[in-house]
Chain A
Amino acid sequence: MNKADKIFIVLVLLSALLMYVPLFIQDQQNKDKQKEVVVHYQNEEILRVDLLQNHTYQVQATLGEVQIEVKDGAVRVEKETSPYHLCSIQGWVKDTGRPIICLPNELVVQIEAQEPTDDGVDTVIQ
Chain B
Amino acid sequence: MMKTKRMMYITMLVAISILFHLIESMIPLPLPIPGFKLGIANIVGLVALYMYDAKIMFTVNFMRVILASLMRGILFAPGFWLSLCGVLLSSGAAIIAKRCTPMTIFGVSCASAAFHVIGQVIAVTILYSQFLMGALLPILLLLSIPTGLFTGFMAKQVLNRIQIER
Which residues of A are at the interface with B, using a C-beta cutoff of 8 A? 1-2, 4-5, 8-9, 12-13, 15-17, 19-20, 23, 40, 43, 83-84, 86-87, 89-91, 95, 97-99, 101, 103, 106, 108, 110
Contact = CB atoms under 8 A, between A and B. Distances in A.
Interface string B135-148: 11111011011000
Given A20-B138, A40-B128, A97-B135, A103 B107 contact: no
Interface of B: 28, 30-34, 78-79, 82, 97, 101-104, 106-107, 110-111, 114, 124, 128-129, 132-139, 141-142, 144-145
A16 B129 CA distance: 23
A2 B152 CA distance: 13
A9 B136 contact: no
A13 B134 CA distance: 16
A86 B34 contact: yes
A43 B78 CA distance: 12
10 contacts: A8-B107, A16-B142, A23-B135, A83-B28, A89-B30, A91-B32, A99-B132, A108-B128, A108-B132, A110-B132
